[in-house]
Amino acid sequence: MSFLSFIFNRLRRKATGARNISDLEIHLVHACNLACESCSHYSNQGHKGILSLTDAEHWMRLWNHRLNPGNFSMLGGEPTIHPDLPEFVPLARRCWPRAHLKIVTNGFFLQRHPLLPIVLKKDRDACLYVTIHSDASEYQEKMRPALELVNGWVRDHQIRVVYIESYKNWTRRYRGFGSAMEPFEDGQPRFSWEHCAPKYCTQLLEGKLWKCPPLAYLPMQDARHCLSAKWKPYLQYQPLKPGCTDRQLEEFFDRGDEVYCGMCPASPERFDPPLPLRTMILPNFS
């Protein structure tokens, strides 16, 4: 970043009180009831853990005076696994009063949260984003009750809903699975960054800011699966800590490609993921 750009951003921050960013995301749950091949959050890899409301508020308040996200997404994993999901909406609104709030879910466990549509109705800039992960008839049939429930919420509570057909643009973020997972290492990190779908999806994890989902949750993946030595350079990535200077904050968000981007493909190819259904019973993912 040039000196003039740094001065411009400092002046902008003094005027607005915070750095404007497009997206900020937080995992409410690391686990998922689906197993989508090559999930960029590694949610298909058997991880556990849920985020408490207390920790979530602490993490958000470390940054809410310094960041102004256009979108603040609550996801996972699968956020509807969290027993306190509806309470995250007003919490997020208190911390990010100008953000568009998004709950991103595959929808299968929405029936466990009858208060959610009431909470969403009260917030005029909160929306339910329902992701569709297959067009297979078996998947569509299992999804039908969830879609009927959501349609009822729209009718009775006038909530806002966006449907995302994720499977239509699915690409691999890595090769293999579990301990056999390997980075692409195409040697063209600039192209990897340019073709990266979540390159602006900053993650809020453990009170720190991470460039993207694959980097944020890679240490968790390594701890569970003991990844090969090929991942060592990428595991050395350092997130931005809340005690950073203003200049470090600006440089973090102004930075495009970096060596860590090399773990992802330079020319990602779309593929039709296999049916991602697990047994539709809520497991103990805490």
Question: Residues 196-247: pLDDT tens digits?
Answer: 999 999 999 999 999 999 999 999 999 999 999 999 999 999 999 999 999 9
Positions in the chain whose pLDDT score sits under 50: 1-15, 280-286
Q: What is the pLDDT of residue 4?
A: 45
Domain membership flag for residue 270: no
Looking at residue 278, what is its pLDDT?
Answer: 79
In the prediction, which pLDDT does 188 show? Answer: 97
Q: Is residue 199 part of a domain?
A: yes
CATH code, 107: 3.20.20
Average pLDDT, the chain: 93
Q: Which residue range(s) make up the domain with 85?
A: 19-263
121 is a domain residue: yes
Whether 64 is in a domain gets the answer: yes
Residue 159 lies in a domain: yes
Instruction: Classify residue 273: in a domain, yes or no.
Output: no
- Please count the structural domains in the chain: 1
Contacts with 272 (C-beta within 8 Å, 6 or more apart), sequence order = 167, 170
176 within some domain: yes
Q: For a pLDDT cut of 70, what percent of the chain falls above it? A: 92
Domain membership of residue 69 (yes or no) is: yes
pLDDT value at residue 9 = 43
